[in-house]
Amino acid sequence: MGAVASVQVELPKRLTSSELEVRHCAHAPRADPAMSLPLPIPTPDSSAPVRSMLLAEAPIPDRAALLDCMRGLCDHRLHALTWMESLGDAPDLLYARCCCDAAPALHGLLRARLPALRRTLRRYRRIRSGVSDPHRAASCVVMTRVPTRNAAQAQSRADAAFAALQDGAHALRGLIAAHLYLSDDGRTLLECTEWHSAEAQRRAMQREPERLPLAADRAASVRRFRPRTLVLRCDGTTPVHLHA
């Protein structure tokens, strides 16, 4: 496990789209080519390593304790770690992104070091991703979970959701980026959208709900969060931005 030289906390710096793809080791995959909405959004190149994501409810009030638990993550090819502060009654979320082949080890490390996450920690893989406004900071992240029968249905719904985002003369006002993930068991489709503000997302839902079909689904669980940023510095590496 790599040693941690120093730990720096940056609050209340807000997450930017470019920080979502922070990488810290030479073997980390390159970011996807720049994409924009509502232009066609290609599925990520099948020859590139598939990114995985781990998500868990995070009932840990002390962010410094989170950093202490994360010592050694540099050996697990972590791309980003985001603490999602709930804007409603839902628990906060811990959102970790890594290489696909590193997901099992990272999953095990989080379970071992943060026992409070064990019940809700789940692994996902990314299946669609697009960026509309990479130069604006996100102050709201909306997590939408939709139950699915299997991976095939989830992929079909993900494709339809991205088509809906593109079905208009203009990009949705306030939308920064959209990422879709499939759970390991194929039973949950997760949509993560970044917005300039929570109000921008609410206005989009009121004015053009057909362009956000997953969030408009009555069976969906829709939660809003505020991203926070922490920085974990590792020996011999670029600082890893931990969005908490």
- Which residue ranges make up each domain of the chain? 4-26+48-243
H-helix or E-strand spanning residue 126? strand 122-131
Q: How many residues belong to the chain?
A: 244
Q: Please tell me the predicted confidence (pLDDT) of residue 237.
A: 52
The answer to pTM > 0.75 is no
Q: Please tell me the predicted confidence (pLDDT) of residue 37.
A: 34
For the 4-26+48-243 domain, the top CATH level (class) is: alpha beta
Amino acid identity, position 186: G
Rounded alpha-carbon distances, angstroms, from residue 78 to 106, 110, 126, 146: 8, 12, 15, 26
Band of pLDDT at residue 1, cut at 50, 70 and 90 = very low
Overall average pLDDT of the 212-235 stretch: 83
Asked if residue 134 has pLDDT above 70, the reply is: yes
Cβ pair 2, 220 in contact under 8 A: no
Q: Please tell me the predicted confidence (pLDDT) of residue 30.
A: 30
Each residue's pLDDT tens digit, 50-93 = 577 788 877 665 666 666 666 666 555 677 777 888 999 888 88
Closest CA to 226 of 65, 61, 82, 60: 82
Between the two ends of the chain, the Cα-to-Cα distance in Å is: 22
Asked if residue 21 has pLDDT above 70, the reply is: no
Band of pLDDT at residue 8, cut at 50, 70 and 90 = very low
Closest CA to 130 of 205, 44, 202, 209: 44
**Better pLDDT: 188 or 40:** 188
Band of pLDDT at residue 173, cut at 50, 70 and 90 = confident
Rounded alpha-carbon distances, angstroms, from residue 207 to 48, 138, 139, 200: 37, 21, 21, 11
Mean pLDDT score of the chain: 72
Q: Where are any strands of DSSP class E within 49-171?
A: 51-57, 78-86, 93-99, 122-131, 140-147
Which of 22-31, 62-71, 150-159, 233-242: highest mean pLDDT? 150-159
Overall average pLDDT of the 14-37 stretch: 30
